[in-house]
Chain A
């Protein structure tokens, strides 16, 4: 599939001198859901704002559906819907009015039937004549989504859509995102919540300090998550791993006091039985056995802390 959004070496230095984006390049394919994970201040919102035209890039380029977002901003922006992180709605307007406004602002002819459909999909139709100030926080968030959908975007940016949202609403949001994807909308969402990325994303990008550390298929990352480690503690330390155990790809840790075995917990055969048999046959005596799991969270934390272990952590062999 062709990239619907193509970001090339995007840099953003704010007037205060702060570098929010340090040359981000990213291609997003039509119809996929990409989750951008990153800590606060990683540059997620700046990235979205720059693509949408709210902030201007210092250098680099953004093409939306093949249109440069500066020289052909009308074509480019018409394709994009943005749901901001903060609830930014005029308190005195009514739900139906503000959603209709968004459609008109993007130059689309009035289409009450479509607006109704959007509001119904977001369970807002009953609230259409309510003023924004009378809605709950969750409802306001839905209104923000409705506004973005009212002009039928091909790409939807959701900036932390579930921050501070209760579990039920979060599940609802995920359902809405899946439905949109089914309708062919490309979705880019930023989140702190790794479980959110796991639940709905096709690909996951990790961003920190203005740099995109990795972008990968979620399934591959999940495979890493599936990796577990077995630590076999020995009664007596050994200097080297016995040759008879070489086929198991072990690591010697704790000054030779333990063997570390990394395996795929989701595989049909984990190889644990064979390993333990071979350990016993090699004449080693087991003091204790421990397993631990490297989660996506570990991978994420390892990546964003930026230490030398980060690549290793990404490979799942250091917990």
Chain B
């Protein structure tokens, strides 16, 4: 491994994060706070407990997931799409580094950013509601794996995208609906049986469920299944990226 190169890419990507601090950091924090005000306080005060958890607290894991997934995808996809768009990707392609090093730098930075944002949101949330974490290690594991896997997915989207519109397309049309319909703001046990079954095809359900289990000890699906789902998704993304670099798809003519 060319660790100097990995660290160089990582630092340059993190530098962009600090450069666009308002956009990268304050806006997700602000929008999450708004969610709390609207769902947690205004509407949540009229909702009974869900699975024995106060509604305001119940939505915290879902909210963190929503932000972390969105941020991971947008950070990673933009990170690799931007050099493609400008043309300075030539430097990465001609450098003595392999795909693992490129991915480690870009995805590592994107995952770090969203991990940071996720942590900040958790801290923000704890100002609004009483939060207890029953399984801290599992919580960290789910958070880190989600940041990592969706950053990998974002990286793929960034390589696939041919223009800025396409860059927004997958997050907007696929990811946001999946997250909203993945039980971020409700327990899937609240759905009619048919929809409960259909929902199980939504991968985000497993993430939110596992993450929520880490907080409250209750899950919609078995926690091991959640862990397998996120692990499998990470491996699948790695596989796709390996194939991309092997074939040069959309990056190397």
CA distance A105 to B9 in the complex (A): 7
Q: Which residue of B lies closest to A77 (CB)?
A: B96
- A1-55 contacts to B, CB under 8 A, are 14-15, 49, 52-55
Q: Which residues on the A side are within 8 Å of B127 (C-beta)?
A: none
CA distance A91 to B2 in the complex (A): 27
Q: Which residue of A lies closest to B16 (CB)?
A: A92
- Known contacts A75-B96, A104-B8, A105-B9; decide if A84 and B90 are in contact (CB<8 Å): yes
A89 interface contact, C-beta 8 A? yes
- Known contacts A56-B248, A56-B252, A109-B4; decide if A92 and B96 are in contact (CB<8 Å): no
Q: Which residues on the B side are within 8 Å of A249 (C-beta)?
A: none
Cβ-defined contact, A107 with B96, below 8 A: yes
B95 interface contact, C-beta 8 A? yes
B122 interface contact, C-beta 8 A? no
Cβ-defined contact, A105 with B95, below 8 A: yes
Of B19, B86, B252, which one neighbours A88 at CB under 8 angstroms? B86
Q: Which residues on the A side are within 8 Å of B11 (C-beta)?
A: 104
B23 interface contact, C-beta 8 A? no
B140 interface contact, C-beta 8 A? no
CA distance A76 to B95 in the complex (A): 10
CA distance A108 to B97 in the complex (A): 12
- Contact flags A105-132 to B (C-beta < 8 A → 1, else 0): 1111100000000000000000000000
Cβ-defined contact, A54 with B96, below 8 A: no
Cβ-defined contact, A106 with B88, below 8 A: no
Cβ-defined contact, A105 with B87, below 8 A: no
Q: Which residues on the B side are within 8 Å of A105 (C-beta)?
A: 5, 8-9, 91-92, 95, 97
- Known contacts A97-B15, A105-B8, A106-B5; decide if A55 and B96 are in contact (CB<8 Å): no
Cβ-defined contact, A73 with B4, below 8 A: no
A102 interface contact, C-beta 8 A? yes
Cβ-defined contact, A107 with B88, below 8 A: no
Cβ-defined contact, A54 with B93, below 8 A: yes
Of A15, A75, A77, which one neighbours B95 at CB under 8 angstroms? A77
Cβ-defined contact, B19 with A92, below 8 A: yes
Cβ-defined contact, A90 with B94, below 8 A: no
Cβ-defined contact, B2 with A74, below 8 A: yes
Cβ-defined contact, A102 with B7, below 8 A: no
Q: Which residues on the B side are within 8 Å of A88 (C-beta)?
A: 86-88, 90
Q: Which residue of A lies closest to B82 (CB)?
A: A90
A101 interface contact, C-beta 8 A? yes
Q: Which residues on the B side are within 8 Å of A53 (C-beta)?
A: 93-94
Q: Which residues on the B side are within 8 Å of A102 (C-beta)?
A: 91
The 7 A-B pairs of least Cβ separation, nearest first, read A104-B8, A88-B87, A77-B96, A52-B94, A74-B96, A107-B2, A88-B88
A-B contacts, 25 of them at CB < 8 A, read: A14-B253, A15-B253, A49-B90, A49-B253, A52-B94, A53-B93, A54-B253, A74-B2, A74-B98, A77-B96, A78-B96, A80-B94, A82-B91, A84-B87, A90-B83, A93-B12, A97-B12, A104-B7, A104-B8, A105-B92, A105-B95, A105-B97, A107-B95, A107-B96, A108-B4
Extra A-B contacts (19), CB below 8 Å, given A93-B12, A107-B96: A14-B253, A54-B252, A54-B253, A55-B252, A56-B252, A73-B96, A74-B2, A74-B97, A84-B87, A88-B87, A93-B15, A97-B12, A97-B15, A104-B4, A104-B5, A104-B7, A104-B11, A105-B92, A106-B95
